[in-house]
Amino acid sequence: MIRKILVANRGEIAVRIVRACAELGIKSVAIYTDADRHALHVKKADEAYHVGKDPILGYLNAHTLVNLAAASGCDALHPGYGFLSENPDLATICARRGIRFIGPSPDVIRRMGDKIQARNAMLAAGIPVVPGSDHNLESVDEARALANQIGYPVMLKATNGGGGRGIRRCDSEDELLKNYDRVVSEASKAFGKPEVFVEKCVVHPKHIEVQILGDTQGNIIHLFERDCSIQRRNQKLIEIAPSPQLTEAQRQYIGKLAVRAAKAVGYVNAGTVEFLLDQDNQFYFMEMNTRLQVEHPITETITGVDIVQEQIRIADGQPLQYKQEDIKHRGFAIEFRVNAEDPKNEFLPSLGRITRYYSPGGPGVRVDAAIYTDYVIPPYFDSMCAKLTVWNLSWESTIERGRRALADMLVYGVKTTIPYYQEILKNPEFRSGRFNTGFVETHPELTQYVEKKPPEVMAAAIAAAIAAHQGL
């Protein structure tokens, strides 16, 4: 049985995994570089080990992390998301050292990480796929010929890409010629391989993904879908479960489609099958994420299934606790990615010390965070500093709960996306539950909000000024 897990990540996801370990009676081991010496995941874990002065490299050395797992007596490693979570080498090294990797097999990670292999696997399984290349492009001339065949607009994509990087939309041949070398360069720098492909651009689709779980006995189930259409430059901002845009028939169809996709590749552990839904209500496979997703809390909220604990049980060789008919969804959940960014200034990162932080609470409110008052947001990592999840029985009441919780969530010292999300929740198009991936770009006016200090904060500031004056 798994008794001790090395958490090969940082921030709020590391805290989330540590909490799951604690509830299962499993010891947790955190890692940190100099920039994270005072991070919350270091304080929460049973043990913590320094992995280097460089803020990032310590999280990226698979051999070092697996050696540390073995030396500290761990029998499993959880990669979280980002960093090495979709690196098949980490899973391979774990297997060689007898450390259980809490995720799918190296072969599945490798196949699904290669977008061409993934597309071809889905086609073989009868899963609808966006028209495009069935192999890596050899030259810009080949890209141009294929684009002319399938028609503009097209998307140039890094074959091994993810997270919204290494991807460019091309509306004409001129744009294709201009972007080709750029995408190849981005693919080389970000993913270590210059391989790219082209596919038809589905204009302003809905982005719908399905959470799956598979065990080592061959059982695979889905936990319904999440709507990730509210995004900026292919980066998700707000996620919703279940999608308020699907009919029940569509929900059942896409769930079965995701299970079929997972079975086609022999998937084990937690994963996500991502689809685009076009304006003609046709679903297309986009990619499979072979890891835990940032937005997993909203699925946990509507189903009651602890996905992280299920991951650990699956890695321990245990069968799924649930059959498909056991999985029900209730109400709606919305997750807001609270980023340390300034929406009024092109969403530029806003880094530094958090001078004051108030976490929201009350019924149907969950916060996944690694910040606290006086915490310094380092400049080396993703700008997301917290995730706020709200739940209620109806779509309308969930929106209102979101407005209340966002108002309760106060972060001072840095700019955040909280006021921007408050404006989104007021927008009639969003409130109607009818939106697509073009929502953010077609509503630039939502960034022009007016920030207001709540009365209690103003009172605290006045009191502090009076105290300072009296102390003179």
> Mean of the pLDDT values across residues 282-302?
97
Contact 86, 111 (CB under 8 A): no
Per-residue pLDDT at 449: 76
When mean pLDDT is compared across 176-190, 335-349, 430-444, the lowest value belongs to: 176-190
Task: Record the tokens describing residue 267, joined without a space.
Answer: 């998937």
pLDDT above 80 (res 294): yes
> Mean of the pLDDT values across residues 122-137?
94
Asked whether residue 30 falls in the same domain as residue 76, the answer is yes
At 297, which CATH number?
3.30.470.20
Per-residue pLDDT at 196: 93
Per-residue pLDDT at 455: 52
pLDDT above 80 (res 307): yes
Asked whether residue 228 falls in the same domain as residue 334, the answer is yes
In a domain, 472, yes or no: no
Q: Of 83, 102, 121, which residue sits at a domain end?
A: 102
- What is the domain range of residue 278? 206-447
Sequence-separated (6 or more) residues with CB below 8 Å from residue 409: 338, 358, 359, 360, 367, 386, 388, 418
Q: Whats the size of the chain, residue-wise?
A: 472
Band of pLDDT at residue 467, cut at 50, 70 and 90: low
pLDDT above 90 (res 463): no
In a domain, 110, yes or no: no
> Mean of the pLDDT values across residues 186-199?
90
- Give the separation between CA 384 and CA 367, rounded to whole angstroms: 13
Asked whether residue 299 falls in the same domain as residue 421, the answer is yes
pTM comes to 0.91
Residue 224's nearest CA partner among 202, 252, 189 is 252
Asked whether residue 335 falls in the same domain as residue 400, the answer is yes
pLDDT above 60 (res 453): no
In a domain, 230, yes or no: yes
Percent of the chain predicted with pLDDT > 90: 90
Domain count, the chain: 3
Per-residue pLDDT of 239-290, as tens digits, reads: 999 999 999 999 999 999 999 999 999 999 999 999 999 999 999 999 999 9
Contact 127, 260 (CB under 8 A): yes
Contact 283, 130 (CB under 8 A): no
At 67, which CATH number?
3.40.50.20
Per-residue pLDDT of 373-392, as tens digits, reads: 999 999 999 999 999 999 99
Per-residue pLDDT at 190: 82
In a domain, 162, yes or no: yes
In a domain, 373, yes or no: yes
In a domain, 108, yes or no: no
Q: Running DSSP on this structure, what letter comes out for residue 349?
A: E
Asked whether residue 167 falls in the same domain as residue 267, the answer is no
Q: Of 166, 200, 234, which residue sits at a domain end?
A: 200
Per-residue pLDDT of 140-158, as tens digits, reads: 999 999 999 999 999 999 9
Asked whether residue 171 falls in the same domain as residue 282, the answer is no
**Mean pLDDT of all residues belonging to the chain:** 94
How far is the CA of 49 from the CAs of 42, 73, 107, 404, 436, in angstroms?
Answer: 8, 13, 30, 39, 43
In a domain, 212, yes or no: yes
Residue 350's nearest CA partner among 327, 378, 314, 392 is 378
Asked whether residue 304 falls in the same domain as residue 336, the answer is yes
Q: Of 81, 102, 123, which residue sits at a domain end?
A: 102
Contact 226, 209 (CB under 8 A): yes
Asked whether residue 214 falls in the same domain as residue 182, the answer is no
At 174, which CATH number?
3.30.1490.20
Per-residue pLDDT of 105-119, as tens digits, reads: 999 999 999 989 999
Asked whether residue 264 falls in the same domain as residue 396, the answer is yes
In a domain, 121, yes or no: no
Question: Across the strands, what pairs with 76?
Answer: 5, 100
Asked whether residue 291 falls in the same domain as residue 398, the answer is yes
pLDDT above 90 (res 303): yes
Contact 420, 447 (CB under 8 A): yes
Per-residue pLDDT at 59: 97
Asked whether residue 379 falls in the same domain as residue 270, the answer is yes
> Mean of the pLDDT values across residues 187-206?
91
Asked whether residue 176 falls in the same domain as residue 274, the answer is no
Place of tokens 């489609």: 257
Between 452 and 33, name the one with better pLDDT: 33
pLDDT above 60 (res 63): yes
pLDDT above 70 (res 458): no
> Mean of the pLDDT values across residues 6-23?
98
Whether 251 is a known active-site residue: answer no
Set 291, 313, 366, 401: catalytic member: 291
Band of pLDDT at residue 361, cut at 50, 70 and 90: very high
pLDDT above 70 (res 461): no
